[in-house]
């Protein structure tokens, strides 16, 4: 004899089990999608931080073939193109990112950065001006300083350099750029102080070492700065000061520094040799 209630209960149980199974599959699917998304994000970050720039370009371009509207991959491609020196190719990608509804102000700052790299200062300034002043970031103020510098708005540039330096734990690049700005304004003493600050934060920044040598030479001080340097770097700094000395009319000092650079360099220093030969030949003429 059948029991209608039992049959109904069993049928209901089957339905519930089926629903649970479908729900479980959906949960697993969502979990897999979530893990996949995290993995892609991690891979994108890895390619940007440690990958070869050209390999990163290929990776993001490949990802965008199947997901052309993925803003994370668009950003990755734009950044990778900039890292690989392909600024002209990066610009339209950054424009596309900035036009995306999900774009943020940091994306627009990076677009301005790329305009500067492309030597399009007016577009860079217009892009930054369109960003609300409430968006305060290291990159924004770093670029504002550079634009003010290009327009010879010195007090404005100083303000932005100082602000940018206070917004990062690695301000060596800012101090180096600020020092170079002071150097071009004809203020080598203040430039020297800023290059020294840059090297306090990053003792390996050779650009700052070279600029420091220029700042000292600009004050008539041709002694090497007391900074950490390799033998090859020592020779290169001597060469830098030699050229600065010659340009100031201190030819004898320049000749001595060139000879010292040649003797110091661990290998053949062709640039210094040519410069010294030119000086000697000019002196005989």
Residue 267 belongs to domain spanning = 230-285
Residue at a domain's end among 103, 134, 149: 103
The answer to whether residue 81 sits within a structural domain is: yes
Joined tokens for residue 179: 């020092």
Residue 23's pLDDT band, with cuts at 50, 70 and 90, is low
Number of structural domains the chain divides into: 2
The answer to whether residue 208 sits within a structural domain is: no
Distance CA 21, CA 186 (A): 76
Q: Using alpha carbons, list the distances in angstroms from residue 273 to 252, 263, 278.
A: 16, 10, 9
The answer to whether residue 11 sits within a structural domain is: no
Ramachandran area for residue 254 (φ above 0: left; ψ -120 to 50: alpha; else beta)? alpha
Residue 35's pLDDT band, with cuts at 50, 70 and 90, is very low
What's the CA angle centered on 262, arms 261 and 267, to 5 degrees? Answer: 115
The answer to whether residue 87 sits within a structural domain is: yes
pLDDT digits (tens, 9 = 90+) for 80-132: 999 999 999 999 999 999 999 999 999 999 999 999 999 999 999 999 999 99
Joined tokens for residue 60: 């993001």
The answer to whether residue 277 sits within a structural domain is: yes
Ramachandran area for residue 183 (φ above 0: left; ψ -120 to 50: alpha; else beta)? alpha
The answer to whether residue 52 sits within a structural domain is: yes
Q: Is the pLDDT of residue 135 over 90?
A: yes
Distance of CA 25 to the CA centre of its chain: 45
Residue at a domain's end among 62, 78, 103: 103
Percent of the chain whose pLDDT exceeds 90: 64
Q: Is the pLDDT of residue 47 over 90?
A: no
Joined tokens for residue 263: 């003797």
pLDDT digits (tens, 9 = 90+) for 219-253: 999 999 889 999 999 999 999 999 999 998 888 99
């Amino acid at each position: 004899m059948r029991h209608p209630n039992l049959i109904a209960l069993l049928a209901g149980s089957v339905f519930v089990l089926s629903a649970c199974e479908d729900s479980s599959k959906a949960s697993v699917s969502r979990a897999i999608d979530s893990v996949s998304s995290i993995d892609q994000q991690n891979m994108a970050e890895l390619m940007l931080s440690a990958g070869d720039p050209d390999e990163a370009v290929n990776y993001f371009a490949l990802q965008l073939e199947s997901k052309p509207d993925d803003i994370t991959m668009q950003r990755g491609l734009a950044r990778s193109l900039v890292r690989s020196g392909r600024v002209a190719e990066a610009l339209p990608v950054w424009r596309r990112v900035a036009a995306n509804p999900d774009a943020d102000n940091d994306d627009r700052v990076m677009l301005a950065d790329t305009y500067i790299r492309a030597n399009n200062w007016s577009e860079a300034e217009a892009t930054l001006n369109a960003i609300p002043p409430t968006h305060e970031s290291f990159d924004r103020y770093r670029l504002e300083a550079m634009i003010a510098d290009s327009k010879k708005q010195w007090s404005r540039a100083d303000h932005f350099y100082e602000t940018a330096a206070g917004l990062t734990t690695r301000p060596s690049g800012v101090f180096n750029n600020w020092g170079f700005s002071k150097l071009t304004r004809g203020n080598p003493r203040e430039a020297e102080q800023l290059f020294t600050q840059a090297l306090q934060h990053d003792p390996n920044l050779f650009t700052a070492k070279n600029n420091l040598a220029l700042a000292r030479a600009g004050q008539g001080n041709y002694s090497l700065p007391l900074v950490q340097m390799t033998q090859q770097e020592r020779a290169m700094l001597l060469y830098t000061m030699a050229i600065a000395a010659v340009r100031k009319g201190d030819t004898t000092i320049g000749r001595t520094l060139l000879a010292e650079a040649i003797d110091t360099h661990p290998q053949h220093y062709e640039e210094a040799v040519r410069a010294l030969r030119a000086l000697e030949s000019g002196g005989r003429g």
